[in-house]
Amino acid sequence: MNEPEDIEIVAEPEQATGTSHSLALPDQQLPDKLYVIPIHNRPLFPAQVLPVIVNPQPWGKTLERVSNTAHKCLALFYLDSPPGDAAAFDPDKLPEHGTLVRVHHATEEGGKLQFVAQGLTRVRIRGWLSRKPPYLVEVDYPKSPLDPRDEVKAYGMALINAIKELLPLNPLYSEELKNYLNRFSPNDPSPLTDFAAALTSAPGAELQEVLDTVPMLKRMEKVLPLLRKEVEVGRLQKELSAEVNRKIGERQREFFLKEQLKIIQQELGLSKDDRSADLEQFQQRLEGKTLPEQARKRIDEELNKLSILETGSPEYAVTRNYLDWATALPWGVYGQDKLDLKHARQVLDAHHAGMDDIKARITEFLAVGAFKGEIAGSIVLLVGPPGVGKTSIGRSIAESLGRPFYRFSVGGMRDEAEIKGHRRTYIGALPGKLVQALKEVEVMNPVIMLDEIDKLGASYQGDPASALLETLDPEQNAEFLDHYLDLRLDLSKVLFVCTANTLDSIPGPLLDRMEVIRLSGYITEEKLAIAKRHLWPKQLAKAGVAKQRLAISDAALRALIEGYAREAGVRQLEKQLGKLVRKAVVQLLEAPERAVKIGAKDLEAYLGMPVFRSEQLLSGIGVITGLAWTSMGGATLPIEATRIHSLNRGFKLTGQLGEVMKESAEIAYSYVSAQLKHYGGEPGFFDQAFVHLHVPEGATPKDGPSAGISMASALLSLARNQAPKKGVAMTGELTLTGQVLAIGGVREKVIAARRQKLFELILPEANRGSYEELPDYLKAGLTVHFAKRFTDVAKVLFP
C-alpha cells in the first residue's frame, strides 16, 4: 500500500501508546494516533453500538489501514453538512470532540462500505498528521472533573426515571436499553448520560453539544431536558395512536355487528340481500308502466344478468346503474293536458304584460291542440332580445297546459353526448339530458325548454346542433335513440320550447324544424305596466318591505325607464328597481317610523346621473336618420355624408361597417351618381367631389341589409345641397335600379322610432303587411310612407 507523502515517517497508530483516565482497551493502552472518518446524521456516543455506512471513495483506504492495526479503532466526528466527496471535507470544520470506536465486521455491499462501530470514549484532536485521505490525527482523551457525588447521583436517578417513562412508549427503546445493560453498569453516570442522550431524537447540533460537554454535572443538566421532551413527544404520539385505534376499532365493531345483523335477518327471512333488494326494487318500478317490446326484452335480459353477478364485481355496478335509469323512465305514462283556452289566457295575462300578438300566437297554437285533442309533434322557437321574457313564456305555456316543465341551457354545449348520452363503454357514462328530464318529470309528455339554442358550440367531440335534429324532428323523435340506454324512446308527445336571441347562428336544417315566434322589445308604456304589476312588488317581497312603507311614483318609473333602462327587455329595469329598494331600506332602518316615497327628482340621488340622455337627433345637409335592428332590439342609426374637397373623385366609408353595409353604401353611391340629374342635382357633382360617408359610434360594429335607402338619401341631400325633411326615419335596402327591398325587424324598428319621438317613417312597400299586423297602440300617431322605388323616398324627403 502506498503511503501518502505527508505521513510516510509517522508510526502506525497501533505502535503508539497513551494513558487512559477510565477505560483501557484489552491488552493495550488507548492509542494516541487515530484515523478519522466523519459522520453526518448525528453524533455517535460512547454508550452506543451502531452500524455506519460510508462511501468507498475516499474512506475505503482508511478502513483498510484501521483493519491492519492491532486495536482496530478509529475516531468518528460529527460533521453538520450533507455527505460529499473528499474534496468537500474540511478538517477545520470538525467539532472539538468525537468518539473513539472499535470497528467490527467491515464489509462492502451495494457499492457502500458498512461496519459496526462500538463507542468507547470521548476523543479530542491534538494535531493533524495527515490532511489527505486517509486522515490521521494525534488525539488525547478528556478527563471529567470530580463533581459533587450527591448531585450526580440525584441527576442519575432522574435520568433513570425518565428512561423508565420512555420505555413503555416505544418498544425500540427497550432494545437500546438491553444493549446498554449488557455493557455498562447503571451506577456509572457517564455512560448512563450518554445513553440517555442517544435515546432522544434531538437534532445533531444539540447532541454534539452534549458530546462536547465533558464535565459530568453539566452534561446531565443538558441531557435531562432533552429526555423529558422526548417523553412528552412519545406520550402525545401514544395518545394520538390510541385515539386513531379507538376510532378504527369502533368502526370495525360497527361493521361486524351490521354484517351479523344482516345475516341474522336473512336467516329469519326479515330482509333480503343487496341483489334481491335491487331486483325487487327494479321490478316494482316497472309495475303500471307500458314498455315497448324491445325495451321489455332488454330490461329482462339485464335483470337476469344482475341476478347471477357477484355484488362486489364492477360489472354488477354497471348493470345496476343501467337498470336504475332504464326502470326510472316513465314508460307509457302521460299527463293529462288542460286544453282550456280561457285558463291559458288567464295564465299568460297574469305572468306577462303587453305582448298581445305573442299571446294570440300561443293561444292559437293551444287552440289547435284543443281542437285535435292533443298537442304533439310541436317545436316552438321564441326569438327576441335578452330580458323580454322568453323563458318565462315557456313556463307559462307549461302551466297553462298543466304539464311538468324542465329547462336546460344548451348555450356553449360542445359534446353531442350531452343530448344523446354516452355509450356504456367507460366509467362515468350517463344518459343524455332528455332522458334525465323524463326521469325527473315522470311523464312522457312534459314541456322541455332548450335555452340559448343559438349559442350551441361544436368541437372534436361532436356537433350538438346535428344531434338535436333527431330530437326535434316530429318525423324522427318517435324513435329517439339514447346511446346509454340503447333503447328507442317516444319523444313525439313532448312539447319543445326553444329560445334564442338571433336566428343567424342556428343551422338551417335545425331552424326548418321549428315554428318561430318573435318577441320584440317593450315600449315605455309596456315597461311601465310590467314594473308596476310584476317587478316592483317582486323587489319589495325580496327585501321584505311592506308596500305601505316604500312606494314609487309613475313619473319616477317612467324617468327610470327612459334614463336608466332603455334596452329592449326588462332585466336592467329589474336591477335598477332592486338598487332603489336597497338604498331605500337603508333610510328605513335609520328612521323606522317613516315611509319612503320615491319621485322622479329623487332618482339621481339614488342611482346617479342617467345613463341614457334624450338623444339630440342630427339634422342638416347630408344627415339622415335610419332605423336598425340588433340582438338587443331596435335602434336609430344616424348617417352623415360630407364633401371633403373638390380636387378629385373619391368615396370613403367609416363607422365599423360590415361587408353587407359596405356593399349597400357602394350601391347607394353608384345609384345616386347615375341618377343625380333625375333627382335635381348637378350631374357632375360627384365627378369632382371626394365624399366621406360616416355612420356614428365608430366603436360599435354595424352590419345588415337595411341601410341602402338611408345612405342614398344622405348622398342625395349632399349633392342637392338641401337638408331633408326633419323628423323622418327610414329603413330599406336599395338596388342599382332604384328598387326598395324588404327588410326584417319592423316591430323593433317602429319601437325604436317611437322611443326617439320620431312619428314619420319610410318603410319598404313589401313590408306593408308586417306593419299592418302591429298592435294599434304601436301604430297610433305614426305617419308611414311605403316606398316601392327610391323615387318614393325622395318625394317624402324633398317635397
Residue 695 contacts by C-beta under 8 Å, 6 or more apart in sequence?
Answer: 637, 638, 639, 640, 654, 655, 656, 657, 661, 702, 707
Residue with cell 459522520: 39
Cα(468)–Cα(419) distance, integer angstroms: 7
Nearest to 337 by CA among 289, 404, 386, 409: 404
- Stronger pLDDT, 203 or 174, i.e. the higher one: 203
590-622 pLDDT, tens digit each: 887 888 888 888 888 888 888 776 656 677 888
Of the candidates 514, 509, 503, 387, the one whose C-alpha atom is nearest the C-alpha of residue 449 is: 514
* pLDDT tens string 450-492: 888 888 876 666 677 777 887 887 778 788 888 888 888 888 8
Rounded to 5 degrees, what are φ and ψ at 320?
Answer: -65, -45
More confident site: 302 or 413: 302
State yes or no: pLDDT of 273 exceeds 70. Answer: no
In order of 533, 553, 573, 608, 788, the CA distances from 550 in angstroms are 15, 10, 18, 20, 54
Strand partners, 136: 35, 130
User: How far are the Cα atoms of 123, 148, 189, 193, 203 from residue 217, in angstroms, in the given order?
Assistant: 19, 8, 10, 10, 21
pLDDT digits 0-9 by tens, 105-133: 888 888 888 999 988 899 999 888 888 88
SS3 118: strand
Whether 706 is a known active-site residue: answer yes
The answer, yes or no, to whether residue 354 has pLDDT greater than 80, is: no
Judged against a pLDDT cut of 60, whether residue 3 lies above it is answered with: no
At residue 281, what are phi and psi to the nearest 5 degrees? -65, -45
pLDDT band, very low/low/confident/very high, at 274 (cuts 50, 70, 90): low
306-350 pLDDT per residue, tens: 888 777 777 888 888 888 888 888 888 888 877 777 877 888 877
More confident residue, 21 or 322: 322
- Cα(773)–Cα(357) distance, rounded to whole angstroms? 9
Query: Per residue in 52-84, pLDDT tens?
Result: 988 888 888 888 888 888 888 999 999 877 765
Q: Which of 421-425, 494-498, 542-546, 671-675 has the weakest average pLDDT?
A: 421-425
pLDDT at 184: 58
CA–CA dist 172, 161 (Å, integer): 17
pTM: 0.57
Start-to-end C-alpha separation, the chain: 125
237 — pLDDT class (breaks 50, 70, 90): confident
Active-site residue, 749 included: yes
- Select which of 396, 400, 706, 710 is catalytic: 706
Q: Are strands 515-518 and 379-383 parallel, antiparallel or unpaired?
A: parallel
Strands (E), 73-226: 73-78, 97-109, 112-130, 136-140
Residue 11 above 50 pLDDT?
Answer: no
Model pLDDT, residue 265: 67
Catalytic residue among 33, 359, 390, 749: 749
Contact 655, 694 (CB under 8 A): yes
- Say if residue 2's pLDDT is above 50: no
Which neighbouring-strand residues pair with 781?
Answer: none
- Which residues lie below 8 Å from residue 514, measured CB to CB, with a gap of 6+? 379, 380, 381, 472, 498
Query: Cα dist. 708→274, 515, 680, 729 in Å?
Result: 74, 30, 20, 13
